[in-house]
Amino acid sequence: MGTAVITGAGRGIGSAIAQRLAEDGFDIVINDINSDTSIKSAGEIAGKCRAFGVKAECFFADVSKYSECEKMVSDIKNSFGSIDVLVNNAGITRDGLMVRMSEENYDLVIAINQKSVFNMMKLVGAVMMKQKSGRIINISSVVGLYGNKGQVNYSASKAAIVGMTKSAAKELGSRGITVNAVAPGFIRSDMTDSLSSEQKKLMLDSVAMKRYGDACEIAGAVSFLAGKDSSYITGQVIEISGGLVM
């Protein structure tokens, strides 16, 4: 099948994507930041991926920093030989009302959520261009499509990913590379589990299906976009939100 690189894959949606692509037969590169917590969790996910009979390794780098991405991509190429799928999933939130938001929290979210996508698409795109094949899947958000109170920084980063996806699709399409995005809605996580019943009801009242999504449902869409059945799909954004906005 080839090699799939997933950024921010030590937990949450990224870990679900890594395991699903391993199940599909891809060798897996799990990227996360270099911290004690990330090293432990990424190692556990790598073990789960290997259970599917594929090669899985962890590469620790801050993907908001170009130099660290450059070294990581070189090391991955040397270790795995090819990079056939790139999933740009790394992301953080630093929520707050715009007039109270610090410049630091704005810049940090943009760097990790959006600059990282540029870094990895540029570097991995060059590898894929030589191969004349590849799949790039960027994880955006419904917040990047519709906005959300208290998330000007996050909305900006995720909206930028949509524009970057469409531009890169036009640049890379002639080399056999597809570039698409997935925009999750309210996905069950540690954060949503900690909400009060009133907060959960308020969120779910706006969702047609009246439930949270699951990380495995995002992973299923990524699996499709990484596979042969999506070979003529590029520059698209697939919203997975249970009918949040229609």
In this structure, which amino acid lies at residue 219? A
The answer, yes or no, to whether residue 89 has pLDDT greater than 80, is yes
Is pLDDT at 81 greater than 70 in this prediction? yes
Residue range 13-42: mean pLDDT, rounded: 94
Residue of higher predicted confidence among 131 and 200? 131
Please tell me the predicted confidence (pLDDT) of residue 194: 64
Query: Is the pLDDT higher at 192 or at 238?
Result: 238
Query: DSSP string covering 130-164, please?
Result: HHT-EEEEEE--HHHHH--TTBHHHHHHHHHHHHH
> Cβ atoms within 10 A of the Cβ of 100, count?
8
Of all residues in the chain, what percent carry a pLDDT higher than 90? 87
Token code pair at residue 110: 């943009």
The confidence score (pLDDT) of residue 195 equals 65
Q: What is the mean pLDDT of residues 157-172?
A: 98
Confidence band for 65, pLDDT divided at 50, 70 and 90: very high
Who wins on pLDDT, 196 or 191? Answer: 196
| CA 68 to the chain's CA centroid | 18
What φ, ψ does residue 93 adopt, rounded to 5°? Answer: -125, 145
Q: Which fold has domain 3-186+214-240?
A: Rossmann fold (3.40.50)
The verdict on whether 154 is a catalytic residue reads yes
Q: Which of 106, 146, 154, 232 is catalytic?
A: 154
Q: What is the pLDDT of residues 117-162, one digit of tens each?
A: 999 999 999 999 999 999 999 999 999 999 989 999 999 999 999 9
For all residues of the chain together, what is the average pLDDT?
95
**If you average pLDDT over residues 232-245, what whole number do you get?**
96
For the chain, give every domain's residue range: 3-186+214-240
Residue 60 contacts residue 119 (beta carbons within 8 Å): no
